[in-house]
Amino acid sequence: MTAQGTEAPGRIDDSRAPVALHGAALAADASGALLWPAEGVLAVADLHLEKGSAFAARGRMLPPYDTRATLERLAALVDREKPARVLCLGDSFHDRRAGARMESADAERLRALTAAVTDWVWITGNHDPDPPEGLGGRSVAEFRLGPLVFRHEAQPGAVGELSGHLHPAAALALGGRRVRDRCFVTDGAKLVLPAFGSFTGGLNVLNPAIAGLLAPRFDALLTVRGRIHRFPRDRLSPDRGG
């Protein structure tokens, strides 16, 4: 049996899969964004802008293009979907100094992006309790719309909740090979979005930090090669060595 509001396991859509959550008809997009077409909402989680420069400041040299790559993907998504509202579910910036480290061209691109959307909302996270000023948008601790609440960290027992923070990923055997990638995870009462940022890893959904928040039966909507693969919990595998 699949989680409430989901379809048959293994269903593959070209780019997105429908998800019902607390009476709302949503769509999980292979980009890692969550769409609510009836309300004109596009939601993304955990952009972690300027993570590369934060690591560089600590002596760990990563390619300094994560912010640009993330903004390019996000801009393409906004241009394609033309949402009335964009909700960024926390940890949009890797730390409090991310705005100061951002290259001017990237900052200008972000300002243009936030200005192009009627309502751009930065939901605060543990990495960015005070999102940088001067980049557009507005900041809130959580956002409620109709039957749903959008926040950074999932709360035990919450219903109709969409969150980020945990960077969910799923692993399983598929077509004779092992596949592991970031994913959406839902039990029909709550949904956790994958991290959208370019330099973000993933935590296996079978880890108690994620599985412990959900009902015993849940589905992972795995993003692989531009498509969504939907699998119930009993098809998933722990990480090797886990």
pLDDT bracket for residue 110 (50, 70, 90) = very high
Using one digit for the tens of pLDDT, what is the confidence trace for 195-241?
998 777 799 999 999 999 999 999 999 987 788 989 999 999 999 86
Distance in angstroms (rounded) separating the CA atoms of residues 194 and 165: 8
When pLDDT is cut at 50, 70 and 90, the band that residue 48 belongs to is: confident
* pLDDT digit string, tens, across residues 7-26: 444 444 468 999 999 999 99
Q: Is the dihedral of CA 210, 30, 173, 47 positive or negative?
A: negative
What's the whole-model pTM score?
Answer: 0.89
Q: Which H or E element spans position 204?
A: strand 203-204
Q: For residue 76, with 0-12 CB atoms within 10 Å meaning exposed, 13-18 middle and 19 or more buried, which class applies? A: exposed
Beta strands per DSSP E along 8-67:
12-13, 16-21, 24-29, 34-36, 41-44
Angle between helices 66-81 and 104-115 (to 10 degrees): 20
pLDDT attached to residue 88: 98
Longest dimension (CA), the chain: 51
Alpha helix locations (H) across 66-204?
Answer: 66-81, 98-101, 104-115
Whether 239 and 180 have beta carbons less than 8 Å apart is answered as yes
DSSP structural state of residue 202:
-
pLDDT cut 70: percent of the chain above it: 86
Parse the chain into domains and list their residue ranges. 12-150+159-234
Could you tell me which CATH number the domain at 12-150+159-234 has? Answer: 3.60.21
Alpha-carbon dihedral angle through residues 71, 73, 76, 77, given to the nearest 10 degrees: -110
Residue 151 has pLDDT above 70, yes or no: yes
